[in-house]
Amino acid sequence: MKQQEITDALRRAFEANEADFSSIEDQVRTRQATARERLTRSGWNDQGDFHCLACPCPHFLQGGHEGRCRRGSCGHSLLSHDLPR
């Protein structure tokens, strides 16, 4: 497929999209910090990274439906799992 020419309008659209996504990423990070804090306050013993923040899944398993955790008891999205710090 031929590369599409990037017009000014497209460039502005890409920039707006980038800003949107980066604000979502900020929100996700904030929510994860809040979730982590909530678990710690409730007695969660933080061991390692990538455990699920929405259930006791100890480790994100790649390969689930639509990029979700493959562990049957979890099935939460990657974003629900604590990301490596």
Residues in contact with Zn ion by CB under 5 A are 52, 54-55, 57, 69, 71, 74, 76
Closer to Zn ion by Cβ: residue 39 or 54: 54
85 DSSP β-pair partners? none
Closer to Zn ion by Cβ: residue 12 or 70: 70
Q: How many CA atoms lie within 13 A of 16 on its CB side?
A: 6
Is 70 in contact with 64 (CB distance < 8 Å)? yes
Closer to Zn ion by Cβ: residue 36 or 71: 71
- Please name the amino acid found at residue 23: S
Min dist CB 69 to Zn ion, Å, is 3
Min dist CB 28 to Zn ion, Å, is 15
| C-alpha span between 80 and 51 (Å, rounded) | 9
Min dist CB 29 to Zn ion, Å, is 18
Angle, CA of 23, 26 and 27, to the nearest 5°: 90
